[in-house]
Each structure stands twice: as C-alpha cells, then as structure tokens.
Structure 1
Amino acid sequence: MMSVAFRFWALGWLLLANLARGGSVWPKPAYQVQTKQEFVLSSKDLFSFRYEGMSMTIWLAAARYRTIIFEVPTQTRRSSIPDEAMPLYELVIQIESEDETLNVGETDESYLITVGTYSENGTATAVLAARTVPGALRGMETFAQLIDGIDSEPDVRVMSGVHIVDKPRFPVRGLMIDTARHYLTTGTIQSVIDGMSYNKLNLLHWHMSDNIAFPFDSLKWPKLAKYGAHLYPSHTYTPIDVSMIVEYAKRKGVQVMIEIDSPGHAGGMLKGYPEYAPDCLNPTYGPLDPSNPDTFTFLMKLWTELFEIVPSHLVHIGGDEVDPTCWLQSPRVQQFMKDNNFTTGEQVQSYFERRLIGHMEARSKRSMVWQEVFFRSGDTPPPITTLINVWEPHDDNWKKKLAAVTAQGYSAVLSAPWYLDQISSTQDWIKFYQQEPLDFIGPVAQKNLVIGGEACMWGEYVDGANIIQRVFPRASAVAERLWSDRAVTDIEDATLRLQEFRCKLLTRGIQAESLGPNNYCIEEWDVSKSPIHPGIL
C-alpha cells in the first residue's frame, strides 16, 4: 500500500505541474466543460466587465475583480501564450433581477459562464448570466479563478474556453465567529468576510455575546458594553461598526446573522444588568430570569435595536447549555414554576424559548437555535418553522441527532463535524471534507430538511493574530462539501485544487495556512505585495 508520505510527495510533483496551468475552480462547479480554444486577455486597459445594469454591488465587484485578475500576482502560470489564442476583450454580465437582497436559504445563487461566444464582428466574448446579484457574484469569483498568467509577460492573462453551469447543493453555507471570548477588530471581520466570499460561503453567523463579554455598544442599554466588554470603549462594536460590517458583507455576497445567546451564556449581559438574573446563590452566568416580564422587554428592545442595523431575516437566539440550577434555587422562579405547573428546568427553558421565538415571528424573523431547544423541549416543542442548529456530538453520533430533528419535520443546519477550533497536527481539512451532511438514516423527505451547514470558529484561542490561518483553508473544505455535488469526494483531486486555491488566497491578502508538507506557492505569503486588503469594496 502506498504510504501517506509518498502519496503527498507525489502530489507535490503533480502540484508543480498543476501550478504551471491552473484554471481549476474551488468549490468545484456542478457542470464544467473545457474547450480546445484558448484566449488571451492582453491587459487591464483592454479588458472590461460589460454590465449595463444599476446594481452598485456588481459595479464594485467588477472593479475588485479587475484588480484581482490583472494586479494580483498569478499563482498559476503558463510558459508562453498558446498558439492561435484569440483575444478576449470583455465579460458580459447579464442579471435577471437587480434586487441586491441576499436571503440565505431563499435567494437563487445559480449562474452560467460561457467563454468563447462570438459577437457579430467576430470577436470573442465571455458571458456570465445569473438570475440574481448574489448569483452573479458567485460567477465572477469562478471567472477569476479560471485565469492563468504567463511567465515571460507578467501583465498578460490567458484562459481556456469553457462552459459552466453551477449552483450550490445547499442554500445555507455558513461560518460562525465568536467575538465574546476574543474581540475581533472590524478589519479582521472584513478579512473573514473576504475569505468567505472567495469560498462562496454566504452566511456569517456572528456569535456576539457570551458569559465572557458583551461587546455590542447598545444605545438603548449602554451598560451592556460599558461593564460587559473586555475593554471599554476600545473593544466594542458601535451600531455604526455593525452597520458597516453588514454593508461590507452584502457587497461580498454574505449575509450577517447575529446571535445573542440566551437564556444561558448570559454572563456578559448580566454584568451591566444584574436585575435580569434570578435570585439564586450564584447568578453570575444566569440563566436569565423567565419569571420577570421585564426580561423579555429587555431582550426585545436590544433585538429591535439590532434589527434596525442588521436586516437579516434570520436570527440566532442561542439556547445551548442552559444549566437550570439557578432557576431551581430561586424563590421567584420556583413560584413562577408553581404558577405555570412546571416541574422541571426543561419546561422553564421551553417556555422561555417559545416566548422569544414568538416575539421574533411577530417581527417576521426566523429563529435559528442550538439543538438543545429541540431536545430539551419535552411536550412543548418550538414552532415547526424554527431552524435547529445541530452542533454535537463531534463524532459520528451527530447523524442520530440530525435524524431525530428531521424526523419531526424540522429544518436543520449542521455544525457538529465542522468545529474549526478542534485542531490537530495532521491535514485535518481532509476530515472536514469527508463529512457528508446527508449520511444518516432517513427517507428523502427527511434529508431534504437539511438545508445546509456551517463551520464554527469558537474564540477561546484565536484573535486577530491567528483567526484567518485557523479558518482558511479548513473552512474551504466545508465550503466545497456544501456547494459541490455529493459525488465530489476525490481527495487527491481536492488536494491539488485546494492547494492552488490556497495560493490564490495568499495573493488576495488571506493568510491561509499550508495544507502540509511539499505544498508551496509560486508567490509565497507577502502582505506587502497584495493590493487586496480588508476594507476594499
């Protein structure tokens, strides 16, 4: 049997040949056929993105991708311009709807690319067609990945004729970041968003608060950040900061979903507003007091403020790891339980969650919750429209949890096998790549309720200094699993394509970690050489 060491030594030699001529796409498209015709893009000045619409997102993306194609050093190169290569002067962008809204789970992200159509005067043209603005963004990313450089002519670009028809396998493809355990600057979050857009990930799950800290500088509840942030005011997010991040993400085809975890993990909130904790022996971390009607007023005023700056139709209200000890010690909560014929902490949590979800539904928001809200609900489950975020266990037993959730008719988002904070000294991206979301026992109707997944980057051991390396390209493995066809499973093929893609991330300003031994790039990491930096729309 071929040893692992020899296999990756051999892949290294294949990679050297592969970098000489790239054109592979990550995540792998649903359908891609390459033609024999070659095309040359002679310079930035002679090539254009022809778009006649009014979407500012597309105009900004066109400028950004012109920079990526012509000014960022190429990581795949050919020795010379191919014989009989035809000049290519434009990419024509056609979009059915210019509505820029991205409602993850609902918005069509499909696109079609043809490189090698011909105009009436006989010149070659590339065409990108999409139904929506987010779909066009996915296509522009693919187009940029298809282009190679020339060794002897650094300003010239070449590409092969190709026909691509592509769409994501799952509509929800997320990444969770945690700004409670470690504060992340807005620039760092923008870098995360950039990496997401290059991977065609579409949902930034922003775990904003926890027991450790509450960094949102609320105008309605100013003591939240004043007493809850790691450092005030430097380690906080103002409403303007959050609004800016939401707008930045929108321009990159990413939707922001905020999570304010409750009723547990509420310690950050209670530092400033301890009156919303039960009267128990140690209320430091909560849970929040469900017997106090003002608790829900407090939460909904906070959420309403966030709704004004985060227009997402999805909200994550937490619900994980609720320890009922404080409730069961609290005279107020004990009386509340007696008045409502509750005998267990699970019944109290179910009441809390259903009431909060009801408030969200009244504001046309769909709630996502951690799986405990389903599994600890007893006889009073959450509304059937609730999205269940399956996050444990991290071994193969998540399959039983996913089967149980979908058997009851709930839609599910899978996180359990994709915890990026669980690192190893091996190529653990392969482990993430090999996780199949539908690999559980159940009929097709159940499997259709799995609408996607997300990689989770918990913040205990990451901050702005290392989060990008921890996330990418490991999250790239998750991105392809959620975008590409289920049959796309070849590890050797994925290794070659992911290494090429990782090299492209480097020259775009994303400091993605190495895949392993003998994996190198034509242009190694050097931030001073990349014209793409966080904050460039």
Structure 2
Amino acid sequence: MDWFGVPLVLLATLLVVDISALNSPWRYECIKGYCQKKPITEETESSAMSLAACRLFCLEAGAIWPKPTGNASVGTVLSTINFNSIDVIGANSETSSFDLVRGATKIFKQQIADLVPNGVTPKGGKSLVVTLNIEKPNINSLSLDLIESYTLTVSESADGRIQAVINANNFFGARHGLETLNQIIIFDNLRDELQIARDVQIADGPAYPYRGVLLDTSRNYITVETIKKTLTAMGAAKLNTFHWHITDSHSFPYVSKSKPDLAKYGAYAPEKVYSASDVKQIIQYGKERGVRVLPEFDAPAHVGEGWQNTGLVTCFNWQPWQDYCVEPPCGQFDVTKPELYDAIADIYGDMFEQFQPDIFHMGGDEVNFNCWNSTPSIVDWMQKKGWGLQEADFVKLWDHFQSQALEKVYQKAGKQIPVIMWTSHLTNKEFLLDYLPKEKYIVQIWTTGTDATVSNLLDNDYRVILSNYDALYLDCGFAGWVTDGNNWCSPYIGWQKVYENKPAKIAGQKKYLVLGAEATLWTEQVDSTSLDSRLWPRSSAMAEVLWSEPSTSWREAETRFLIHRERLVKLGVNADALEPEWCMQYEENCPIGGKFNIDNRHL
C-alpha cells in the first residue's frame, strides 16, 4: 500500500490507519524549518510522518548533501517502493564505462538495502525503474575539464511504476545523480517501508573541478579496507579526488614493479604493503564512486626508509633531527647523483602504468638546505660548479632536481600533464617565476589562507588548490608527539570552520584560479582504528563548499549536515558524533539563536 502516494495535506482526510499498526507513538511535524517530535493522536495517526520523511520535505534541498546548485524540488509526495523490484538501465556492454555503470548500480542498490534495520523486511510497494541517459558513455576517467553535472527527475508512470531519469554527459555525472537519488530514498520506521520522494526535479553540478581528500599512508600504515571506507564517504559527498600520499621517510609501503626492494626494506612489515592487486582494487573502487586516485611521490625531501642501501639518500635519520628536517626520521635525495633520475623514472613509470592519472603530484615541500649543506659530496659538487652555499644556491640545486624529475614525469606520461607541487621555498616571491612556470605547475597551498604566498600566487595567475592548514589540516588539535602539549597546528578544527573556508573569501576576484580544495590527514597520530572519525564528517563540510559554493553560513547547513553524518554511519563509516541524539529528535531546542529559542517560543 502507498501510504504517501498523495499530497501530505490530504492524507488526514483520505486515509484511516489503526495507530496500533504504527511502530512508534511519535510522529514529526515540520514547523518553521524544524522537524518537531509530536505524539500521534487519533486526528494525526493517518498522516503521521517519520523523522526521515519529515526531513525530506521540511529542509531546503530535501536533506541532500551537498546542496544542489540548480533547481531542486522534491515535491510533497512519498511513494512506497519494492526493494525486490528495482532496475537500473544504463550504458550497454559495448561502451568503456559499462563496468563502472554496473559497479555504481550495485552500490546504489546496496545503499538502499543498508537503510533497512537488521531483522526487518520492508513491506511491498511500487517498482522503481532508473534510467541513465549518458551522452558520452565511452568516457571512463576523470579530468579537470570534465562535465560532472546531471539532471534528475522522479515521477509515476501510467502503469504505476516509479520512474527516475538521470541525464548526464558521462558516467561521473550520472553517478552523482545516482547518489542524489539514494539520498531521497528513505526507510519509514513507522510503517517498515522504503519510500521515495516523487515529483522530483533537480539540476545539479559542481562549482569546482577538484574536490579532494589527502591520506598519508606512510607515517602509519592504513589498511586497504579502511581506504575503501574513505572512498565510500567521498562518493557520498561527491568528492572526486583521493590524493594518496603513499610514501614518505617513515616507510615505503608501495610495491614498485621496477623497484620492489624499496617496499621490501622500507615497509613496516611484509604484510603492510600495497601490492599491485591492492592498488588496482582501490582504483576501481574509487572510480565506481566517482573518485580518481591520484598518487603522490614526494621528493626530493620526505624520503628515507627503503632507500638505505641505494646510496641515493643523505641525512637519513641523522640526529639531532631538528637540524635536518621537521620530524624524524630525516631523509632527502642526494640530487647530485645522476643514477637517481633513472631510479625515480622507474617509479614514475610504475605509477603511470597503474594509476593512469590525468594529473600528477610531485610533492616538493620541506626541503632542508642544512641537510644538503652538511653533506660533503653535495657541497663539493656545488663548489665545482662555482655555486655558493647560500639559500639562493640551494634553491638552484633544488631546481636542478626538479627540472630533471619533471622531464621524467613527462616521459613516462607520454605527454605534458598538469603537475601539482606544494607551497615551499620554490613558491616564495623571489623564486616563484624563475623556477615554477605557471604553464606547467598547479600549486597546492598548505600555508594559512591569509599568507602572503597565496596572494602572490594569485596575482601571478597560478592555478591553486587550497589545503590551508588553519582550516583543512584535520590532524590538528591532538597531543604533541615529538614534544609535550598539543601538536603544532592546534587547535582542533570544527566542521563549522571547515564550512566557512570558502575559496571566494580567500581568493576574491581571482577565485577563477582556484581549482578546488583538499582536506588533508597526515597520520603521525592516526591509523586504521581512528581514521574515520578524523576525516568524517568534517571533510563532507568542505565537500558542500566546493560543490555548491553556498552564500549562506554553516548554521543554515547544520541540520542537513547532521543528517549526512547519520548517512555516513549507515554506509559503515565511523563518522564522529557531533551532538546528543536528543538534539536530532528535538532539533528546534538546541541551537543557540535558533528559530525557536531565540524568541522563547515553545510549540
């Protein structure tokens, strides 16, 4: 039976339901933008709404996260659907995106199944037919200029089936449409039914092309299953880039086809590695959720374990470490060794063969000049060239490495592709234009959002990605680990601050140079047991900023954000709790300055 197959305002007069047939004595009513908990009475029993149903119609954009950028109408009607009668019609087997469509379809159905509590069998309903109209079904990879927009309509056909139609340029846009469709399907726990919003019309697409999460898997090893949960959460928030900081001075868990000894000697344990099959699995898992997996091979600093026997690294684990790097163990390439460039070219080749990236991250941060200056062979090499030993000379040495490494990247990619570098000495005003041509490099900003480096980059028309540590370093706010007190970037960054970290505020009229942003998680104090709660749901706050570019504050997004956190938990992601559950059921009573307690009303 379709309990919500008519407008909600008419239900009380058209339906009569025995209150004993409902699973709870409580219903929810939308009053001034809040779903308020009310007792079910004889007068209200036929129209009683579950909390999930109320949220769909009470909130702007139907509780969808991130908020759609175009028209978003979810109507006023819910229809019951039959989980055993859901069909998705998409690309045919002759197209290159067929496997991705098939994978996304499986995910779509599984997310619906996950809505149903254990031990409950949903009551029957109407068939749901989802049609994916993909204009270019042979696109199977992301690029910075790819159109990720979609439209979604939901209606009831003459034969009584529910029809959902998604139109998109390519698979990735269609997948976003499926994600939105998932979010307007609810489980009504009053009646044990799966229900879908009907009469839906949504037009949607992202404001920024690069929407990422960085995960460091070197400081502490992160399991493949935990990485998959991160990709699941990214797909749910329409984030599209998993930046994999896969190696560092602490460990080398990446199994390079051409240099397998790096992982053999550099991993924490034989089982704590990422094999070729692991990488393949992660890449496919991400693609099916609309996420590219972008590898970073950080150099010439941040190298150490695994390289001990190669003769290509200097100052590895030198003490006192404070003199040679920002944290132990230290380690940098000896960039004067000609054989170094063949070695890194092999690793680039392995990464391009496996990841097939449209962009590549070369790292390039925190090079310690004292490390090089304390290495006699490097000093001798520089002096033979007639160079001094001042900052500008070591920047020149760095460029000696960077220019050769970049050519190896192009060689292995088979073409010139966009390359990302972190802010560093090379991005300082006095060095930027000489050493990092804006035609070749995208700069990822990890300084504060107000740092002069940012304005200089924008003034010189560099494309940038924001990861300013004062808002997007999600490892901040915990205990110190190389000293007492708190870690270097404390305090903890709440989701509200993440939400207010908007590109328009940082870049102003140069906003068009901002490709997007990336939440980062460095794992000195994180492993697989704690990762979910560090990244989620805070990274989802950034996701809405980059997708929707909201002009409103976090306060207007709060209820939808809390709902999205619940959604992540349903997906198996251990997202951090943000408030007592009581506030979810009596949401009008909790916010300071909320629509109800601000004028002391009690309805």
Question: Does the pair score TM above 0.5?
Answer: yes
C-alpha deviation, 1:329, in angstroms: 2.7
Amino acid at match of 1:456: T
5 Å matches for 1:300-315?
300-315=345-360
* Residues 180 and 139 of structure 1, relative CA distance in 2, 3 Å threshold: same
* Residues 422 and 173 of structure 1, relative CA distance in 2, 3 Å threshold: same
Partner residue of 2:454?
A: 402
Amino acid at match of 2:539: A
Distance in 2 separating the partners of 1:180 and 1:405: 30
C-alpha deviation, 1:170, in angstroms: 0.5
**What SS is found at the alignment partner of 1:183?**
coil
C-alpha deviation, 1:138, in angstroms: 0.6
* Residues 477 and 15 of structure 1, relative CA distance in 2, 3 Å threshold: farther
Distance in 1 separating the partners of 2:89 and 2:148: 20
Partner residue of 1:380?
A: 434
Partner residue of 1:21?
A: 54
**What SS is found at the alignment partner of 2:409?**
helix
C-alpha deviation, 1:330, in angstroms: 2.8
Amino acid at match of 1:491: W
Partner residue of 1:132?
A: 170
Partner residue of 2:107?
A: 64
Distance in 1 separating the partners of 2:349 and 2:358: 13
Amino acid at match of 1:263: P
**Farther-moved stretch of structure 1 (308-317 vs 455-464):** 308-317
Contact 2:253/2:272 (CA < 8 Å) preserved in 1? yes
5 Å matches for 1:146-225?
146-225=184-263
C-alpha deviation, 1:22, in angstroms: 2.7
2:554 counterpart of 1:491: yes
Contact 1:349/1:377 (CA < 8 Å) preserved in 2? no
Contact 1:178/1:207 (CA < 8 Å) preserved in 2? yes
- Percent identity at matched positions? 27
Partner residue of 2:275?
A: 238
Distance in 2 separating the partners of 1:53 and 1:211: 46
1:166-205 CA distances to partner (integer Å, 9 max, x unpaired)?
1111000000001110001111111111111111111011
1:257-280 CA distances to partner (integer Å, 9 max, x unpaired)?
111111111122433423443799
C-alpha deviation, 1:313, in angstroms: 1.8
**What SS is found at the alignment partner of 1:448?**
helix
2:137 counterpart of 1:92: no
2:359 counterpart of 1:287: no
Q: Which has the larger radius of gyration?
A: 2
Amino acid at match of 2:85: L
**Farther-moved stretch of structure 1 (154-163 vs 128-137):** 154-163
* Residues 40 and 357 of structure 1, relative CA distance in 2, 3 Å threshold: same
**What SS is found at the alignment partner of 2:77?**
strand
Bigger RCO of structures 1 and 2 (CA < 8 A, at least 6 apart)? 1
5 Å matches for 1:242-391?
242-277=279-314, 285-343=330-388, 344-362=393-411, 363=413, 364=415, 365-372=417-424, 373-375=426-428, 377=431, 380-384=434-438, 385-391=440-446
- Number of aligned residue pairs: 497
Distance in 2 separating the partners of 1:13 and 1:165: 25
1:272-299 CA distances to partner (integer Å, 9 max, x unpaired)?
4234437998797332111111111111
Partner residue of 2:83?
A: 44
5 Å matches for 1:389-468?
389-393=444-448, 396-398=449-451, 400-416=452-468, 417-423=471-477, 428-440=494-506, 444=509, 446-468=510-532
Contact 2:299/2:333 (CA < 8 Å) preserved in 1? yes
1:85-104 CA distances to partner (integer Å, 9 max, x unpaired)?
x9563222110011343324
Distance in 2 separating the partners of 1:190 and 1:57: 16
Contact 2:137/2:171 (CA < 8 Å) preserved in 1? yes
Distance in 1 separating the partners of 2:144 and 2:189: 43
2:565 counterpart of 1:512: no
1:353-384 CA distances to partner (integer Å, 9 max, x unpaired)?
22212222332332111111322736622232
Amino acid at match of 2:537: P
Contact 1:270/1:286 (CA < 8 Å) preserved in 2? no
Distance in 2 separating the partners of 1:469 and 1:359: 38
**What SS is found at the alignment partner of 2:518?**
strand
TM-score by length of 1: 0.85
Contact 1:279/1:330 (CA < 8 Å) preserved in 2? no
Q: CA RMSD of the aligned region, Å?
A: 3.0
Distance in 2 separating the partners of 1:11 and 1:368: 46
C-alpha deviation, 1:40, in angstroms: 1.4
**Farther-moved stretch of structure 1 (35-44 vs 129-138):** 35-44
Partner residue of 1:533?
A: none
Partner residue of 1:534?
A: none
1:286-335 CA distances to partner (integer Å, 9 max, x unpaired)?
32111111111111111111211111122111111100112223333224
Contact 1:41/1:89 (CA < 8 Å) preserved in 2? no
Distance in 2 separating the partners of 1:11 and 1:347: 63
* Residues 30 and 117 of structure 1, relative CA distance in 2, 3 Å threshold: farther
Amino acid at match of 1:448: Y
